[in-house]
Structure formats: C-alpha cells, structure tokens
C-alpha cells in the first residue's frame, strides 16, 4: 500500500495539472491507503493543503531563493504538503513531513529539485519561533484552526496598515480581491470572523430522517464522543468528521447535509400530495429533503443538465419515502423546460454559483473563481429563474437559493427578476455567512402577487 502522504501529493499534482474537484479523485485513491487511519490522513492532507494553499505559498516564498512561479510543479506541491503538516498538524513530526516531501520530489523530479525542497523546508523550520503569545503580530503570526497562532521570527505577511486585504488574504489563504470585497461590505471584524470560519475543517452534519435528533445523537456517541445537536432543528453534528455517520446513513436514519442547506427545502412549505420540481438537483440532498417533507404522498422531479449527475439522482430513489414518487430527468442547458406550464406546486432553483459560502468544503473554488465570476454567474442564474417561472401554479412557491455570499448572485438576481417580472414578489428566506458549524448561503421565496 502507498502511504497517505505520497497519495496526497499525487492527488494534489493531478488537481494542479488538470483542475477539477478533490472529491472526484479522492474516492479513487482512498482504496490504495492501508487502513482507515491512512484514509483519514489522506483526506485531511488533500483538503487541508488546498484550503491553506495561499498561506503555504507565502511561507514558502519567504524562505525560497527563487520565485515559486519558476519552480517545477512537483517542487511546489511537495513544499505545500510538507508545510501544511508542519504549520497546521501538530501530531505529525516535522522531520517526517520533510523526509516524505524530499523523497517524493526525488522520485518525480530528480535530486536537484529534491535538494531545493529540502533547503526551503529546513529554512522555514528555522524561521518558526513557536506558538504566538501576547498581543497579535499581524505580520508574523499565522492563525490556525483551533484559534491559536504560530509566530515566525521575521515578518512574512503584508503590513496590515498599508494592505489590510493583502494581510488577511495571506494569513487566511484567500485571494486578495475577495477579501477586498468583504472588507468593503462588512468591515474588518466580520470579515475576519468569516475568514476564520472558512479556515476550519468542517465536521459532518446529518439531517435526521427518522427517529429524532436526540436518539440519533445518543446512538452516535460511541462513534464520536463529541457528537452534539446541530444548529438547526433535526440536525446532528459530528465534529470528528469522516465516516462517523455511515451506519445511520445506510439505515436510512439520516442523510449528510449541511445545516444551512437543511433550511432551504422547508421554505417551499411542501405538503402531502404536491408536485415539486428541483431544477438543479444534483447531488440530490435538497430534493430528497423535499421528498421527506412530502412524507406520504406527492411527487418530486429531480432534474439536472449533466447525464451522469442524473444517474446519481436516480440512485436516490431507494431512499424516498413510500407513497412519494421520485422522477429524474436530464434537461437542456437552454430553451424551454420539458414540462407543462403551471404544473408544479413548488419549484426549487438551487442555482450553480461561485460557492463563496462553502469555501471550507469546496477548497478548490477560492482559486478557481475570478473577480468577474459573480456577474457572469448572475446572468446564468437569472436565466434559470426565467425558465422556471412559467411552470409554477398560480398559488405556488418558488425558492431561489445559492451557496454564494456575493450580492450580484443573490439580492442582485432577485432584484433583476422582479424588475423584469413585475407580477412577482420576494418574501422570506435566509442570508447567512459561514460559521464553525454551518456553511453560508442565500435563499428567497418568490410568489405571484404585488
């Protein structure tokens, strides 16, 4: 079996070269890990290194004689992975992290690159003073997930007085342009609080389907002693994360779903006998929630534009309550939707978005999106809403939701729709930023009437 560190390095190199999501590659590589501990470490290293990539590159640059952009991708990945272990994971000896990075680099890029990686990492180790004490030093202190900070001997980060967004972005691994947007909207205190939340490894949140949250929490205590009730009714949080709830999920007692996402489906106020459409349904958590809320009778139509994702939606049929019909359909990316006008009691448009409310989970997204992304996505989102409106019955409810924090994709899209469709109104919903227990997200209920 290949060690978790080598597997993580291989995965990160693939993502660097080909793009895409860590999650899509992780399942394939996890089978090569020796046991559950190695699988857990692989997951932690892959997600954590990408989540902290910006900060890791700042640290590596400070101790490198050459610009990182001039280095081979193998060397850059090796340094990121080793520095993540050194700076953020106390349980892994620094010597082990460095040795693995050097060995992996030697095998893929030769002894010269391995020697360079070794030198940078040894310099970085000598530059660490230890845990930060006393007042925060924003130029030398690297914040960590548990609220502590690691202090360097010399300043590494931009002067907060001259470049506040640059300082926060460098220390919390976030693109400067995105931090600038947040500072302009929220100010430094709330921006920093959100950045701290996005730095944290998310636990597993379960939506209770049967048996009650208290009973489920008690049954899971042997798996994770820190299990507790989640931040919304009917949710249970396993801070330990990976794998803890697999048994209750297999039994149909619970489904993995973030607490903020659990608040979306109830906004449609589903009632037994209704016909509901989830237009952008994959991977299916909200559509299944709609089926659970129908409980005894009705229909959920789960559609998406991707044929493989629709296949995944079809697999969820075995979890749907008896009496509720589950239909899946692939729809075209543009043009009229293949449904009769006014044929649905409720419609959910959980639109594709920039993912800026779920960056602790979608760790690649912060490096993929650009300053232009929110406006570009807003046009797509508005188009989806306009396609969906004719399908809603006169007294029906449409819920528009995203996992974005950007106003262009949220309030801006709703305002644009209401301006184009004066016979509609917006009411209720949610607008939340990420916390340690839940992702960020937005939703509005749309109905006919002035």
230 belongs to a structural domain: yes
Tell whether 422 and 287 lie within a shared domain: yes
What's the confidence (pLDDT) of residue 224? 83
57 belongs to a structural domain: no
Tell whether 306 and 408 lie within a shared domain: yes
Tell whether 334 and 394 lie within a shared domain: yes
For 372-403, the pLDDT digits (tens) are 999 999 999 999 999 999 999 999 999 999 99
Radius of gyration of the chain (CA): 23
Judge whether 228 and 190 are in contact, CB under 8 Å. Answer: no
Q: What is the pTM of this model?
A: 0.93
350-368 burial, b if ≥16 CB within 10 A, otherwise e? bbbbbbbbbbbbbbbbbbe
What's the confidence (pLDDT) of residue 40? 84
What confidence category does residue 94 fall into, taking pLDDT thresholds of 50, 70 and 90? Answer: very high
Residue 303 has pLDDT above 80, yes or no: yes
What confidence category does residue 176 fall into, taking pLDDT thresholds of 50, 70 and 90? Answer: very high
Task: Please provide the DSSP assignment of 210-260 as one string.
Answer: SS-HHHHHHHHTTT-TT-EE-SSTTEEEETT-TTTTHHHHHTTSEEE--HH
What's the gap between Cα 181 and its chain centre? 19
Catalytic residues, by residue number, are: 403
What is the tally of structural domains in the chain? 2
Tell whether 265 and 251 lie within a shared domain: no
Tell whether 361 and 346 lie within a shared domain: yes
Judge whether 349 and 384 are in contact, CB under 8 Å. Answer: yes
Q: Provide the residue range defining the domain that includes 229.
A: 204-256
Tell whether 304 and 236 lie within a shared domain: no
- What phi and psi values does residue 9 have, to the nearest 5 degrees? -65, -40
Distance CA 89, CA 52 (A): 12
- Identify the sign of the CA torsion 371, 412, 406, 262: negative
Judge whether 62 and 22 are in contact, CB under 8 Å. Answer: no
392-402 vs 141-143, strand pairing mode: unpaired
For 254-300, the pLDDT digits (tens) are 999 999 999 999 999 999 999 999 999 999 999 999 999 999 999 99
Tell whether 284 and 303 lie within a shared domain: yes
Q: What 3-state class would DSSP assign to 33? A: coil
Region 17-24 average pLDDT: 82
Residue 186 has pLDDT above 90, yes or no: yes
pLDDT over 70 percentage in the chain: 97
Strands (E), 358-448: 392-402, 424-432, 441-448
């Amino acid at each position: 079996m290949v060690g978790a560190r080598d597997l993580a390095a291989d995965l990160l190199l693939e993502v660097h070269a080909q793009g895409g999501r860590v999650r899509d590659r992780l399942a394939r590589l996890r089978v090569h890990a020796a046991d559950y501990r190695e699988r857990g470490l692989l997951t932690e290293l892959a997600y954590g290194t990408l989540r902290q990539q910006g900060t890791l590159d700042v640290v590596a640059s400070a101790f490198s004689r050459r610009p990182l952009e001039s280095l081979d991708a193998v060397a850059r990945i090796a340094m990121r992975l080793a520095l993540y272990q050194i700076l953020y994971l106390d349980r892994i000896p620094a010597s082990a992290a460095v040795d693995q990075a050097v060995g992996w680099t030697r095998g893929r890029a030769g002894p010269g690159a391995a020697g360079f990686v070794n030198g940078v990492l040894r310099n970085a180790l000598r530059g660490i003073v230890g845990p930060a004490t006393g007042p925060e030093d924003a130029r030398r202190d690297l914040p960590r997930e548990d609220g502590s900070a690691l202090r360097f001997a010399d300043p590494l980060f931009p002067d907060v007085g001259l470049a506040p967004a640059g300082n926060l972005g460098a220390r919390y691994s976030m693109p400067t342009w995105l931090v600038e947007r947040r500072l302009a909207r929220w100010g430094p205190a709330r921006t920093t609080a959100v950045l701290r939340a996005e730095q944290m490894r998310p636990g597993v949140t379960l939506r209770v389907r049967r048996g009650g949250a208290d009973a489920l929490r008690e049954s899971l205590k042997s798996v994770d002693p820190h299990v507790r009730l989640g931040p919304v009714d009917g949710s249970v949080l396993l801070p330990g994360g990976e794998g803890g709830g697999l048994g209750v999920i297999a039994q149909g007692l619970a489904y993995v779903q973030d607490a903020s996402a659990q608040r979306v489906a109830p906004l449609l106020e589903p009632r037994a006998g209704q016909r509901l459409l989830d237009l952008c349904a994959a991977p299916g958590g909200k559509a299944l929630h709609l089926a659970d809320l129908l409980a005894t009778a009705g229909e959920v139509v789960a559609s998406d534009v991707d044929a493989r994702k629709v296949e995944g939606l079809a697999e969820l049929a075995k979890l749907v309550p008896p009496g509720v019909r589950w239909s899946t359909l692939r729809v075209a990316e543009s043009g009229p939707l293949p449904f009769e006008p006014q044929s649905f009691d409720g419609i959910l448009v959980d639109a594709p978005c920039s993912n800026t409310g779920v960056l602790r989970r979608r760790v690649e997204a912060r490096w993929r999106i650009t300053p232009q992304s929110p406006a570009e996505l807003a046009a797509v989102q508005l188009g989806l809403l306009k396609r969906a409106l004719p399908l809603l019955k006169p007294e029906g409810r449409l819920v528009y939701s995203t996992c974005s924090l950007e106003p262009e994709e949220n309030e801006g899209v709703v305002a644009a729709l209401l301006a184009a469709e004066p016979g509609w109104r917006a009411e209720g919903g949610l607008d939340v930023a990420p916390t340690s227990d839940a992702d960020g997200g937005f939703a509005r209920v749309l109905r006919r009437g002035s």
